Structure 1
Amino acid sequence: MAKEILLIDDDAITNFLNQNLIEQKIKGIPISIFYNGLEGLKYIKNNPDKHYIVFLDINMPVMNGWEFIEAVDSLTVETNVEIHVLTSSINPGDRERANGLPNVDSFIEKPLDELAMESFMVAKLKKPL
């Protein structure tokens, strides 16, 4: 199954920096960028045959991260979506909420940096990219 990384965040600079860091650490997996959850959701619905690794912001216009997670969970088409919440939220309730959702694989505080990517890669050793 083909894999693809989706960066879903309404901040263009954040997406640019995250894309550059991920490309340095994870080779050979295409990266697509979306500026709200609805754009990302439409893309997944139109391309359900891939394994998606999603780095998802919580606070976005149109469709926020929580709404995206609910929408992915309720898709009638079978999908393979791995969600990593990537947020600047310091609200402990957000971390607790994310950790309580079965389709959220991790909660990462922004900015995505070398240390966060190393932790992500170590966790991925259990589930190969």
Structure 2
Amino acid sequence: MKIHEILLIDDDSVTNFVQKKVIESEFENFSIEVFQNGLTAIDYIHKNPKKSYLIFLDINMPVMNGWEFLEAITNDKYFYNLKVFILTSSLDLSDMRMAEKHQLGSSFLVKPLKREVLKEIKLNYGVKNAI
């Protein structure tokens, strides 16, 4: 899978700072965009429809949470090339079940994100270098 950009969607700026550093350590030469809620991320995707995205999505956020983001983007899934990983601190079993069932959710990852998990993602999904 050719990835043009990585999107980190989470409302916690400290978490975003740490997670971005971890992602950068494994995905060198990739552009990483950070969004505080799902709505601003959807707007960005709509404005850049030709890119392929690897998305790390938090569940609990203001304005538009992770589940609302998934529902909104699912309507347009045929127009975009997305690989979505739910990245959350939630240990709620209902969240895990919803993530497993959702057609766009590739996996349920628990914060903090680890390099080993990113290596697996690159391997399992055949992520190739950015342009």
TM-score by length of 1: 0.91
Matched to 1:43, the amino acid is Y
Cα distance in 2 for partners of 1:91, 1:100 equals 15
Cα distance in 2 for partners of 1:77, 1:47 equals 14
Do residues 8 (structure 1) and 14 (structure 2) align? Answer: no
Shift of 1:34: 0.2
Cα distance in 1 for partners of 2:87, 2:61 equals 12
1:72-129 Cα offsets, whole Å, 9 max, x none, are 11128711111100000000111111011111111100111233323333323xx333
Partner of 1:29: 30
Contact 1:45–1:77 (Cα < 8 Å) also in 2? no
Runs (5+) with no aligned partner, structure 1: none
> How many residues are aligned here?
127
Runs (5+) with no aligned partner, structure 2: none
Do residues 91 (structure 1) and 92 (structure 2) align? Answer: yes
Cα distance in 1 for partners of 2:127, 2:113 equals 20
Shift of 1:28: 1.4
Where has structure 1 moved over 3 Å in runs of 4 or more?
A: none
Cα distance in 2 for partners of 1:25, 1:66 equals 27
Relative to 1, partners in 2 of residues 1:117 and 1:105: Cα closer, same or farther, differing over 3 Å? same
Shift of 1:2: 5.8
Matching of residues 24-63 of structure 1 within 5 Å: 24-63=25-64
Cα distance in 2 for partners of 1:120, 1:76 equals 20
TM-score by length of 2: 0.90
Cα distance in 2 for partners of 1:97, 1:105 equals 11
